[in-house]
């Protein structure tokens, strides 16, 4: 194999997103969600400097503990239901729910009533020094 071919193959193999950022494509999210009976599976749908979209599938009982992000986030529950901690309280979100989290907002999520899937959309990183 020539050096140029090796580099091209490595670039192709390093493409870990489900959609290419430079192409118009569609995707059936339900088909793309990889489920686990005992964990959390995440798949990056697309990633650019301005945007990152991640598909999550949570097994029953799994959780992400409290954290924050410097990015604005939109969470769309696709299937099932979950509990989300935001605004200093836990809230039940079911399929079809949309949650907005501003930069720096502390949040957590848990699958307390069965498995669920969600789509996380992150905007560009906030340049605001106040966001943590």
Domains of the chain: 34-125 (2.60.120.10)
Residue 71 in tokens: 């990015």
Residue 78's Cβ-count burial label (10 Å; 0-12, 13-18, 19+) is: middle
Q: How far is CA 53 from CA 7, 50, 63, 73, 118, in A?
A: 27, 10, 19, 10, 11
pLDDT for position 57: 96
pLDDT for position 122: 97
pLDDT for position 131: 46
pLDDT for position 110: 97
Give φ, ψ of 89 to 5 degrees.
-155, 160
């Amino acid at each position: 194999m020539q050096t140029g071919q090796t580099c091209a193959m490595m670039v192709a193999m390093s493409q870990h997103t489900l959609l290419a950022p430079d192409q118009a494509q569609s995707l059936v999210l339900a088909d793309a969600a990889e489920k686990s009976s005992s964990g959390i599976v995440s798949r990056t749908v697309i990633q650019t400097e301005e945007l990152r979209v991640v598909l999550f599938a949570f097994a029953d009982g799994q959780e992400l503990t409290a954290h924050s992000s410097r990015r604005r986030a939109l969470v769309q529950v696709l299937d099932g239901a979950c509990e989300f901690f935001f605004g200093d309280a836990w809230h039940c979100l079911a399929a079809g729910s949309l949650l907005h989290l501003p930069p720096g907002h502390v949040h957590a999520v848990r699958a307390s009533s069965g498995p669920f899937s969600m789509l996380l959309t992150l905007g560009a990183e906030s340049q605001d020094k106040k966001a943590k």
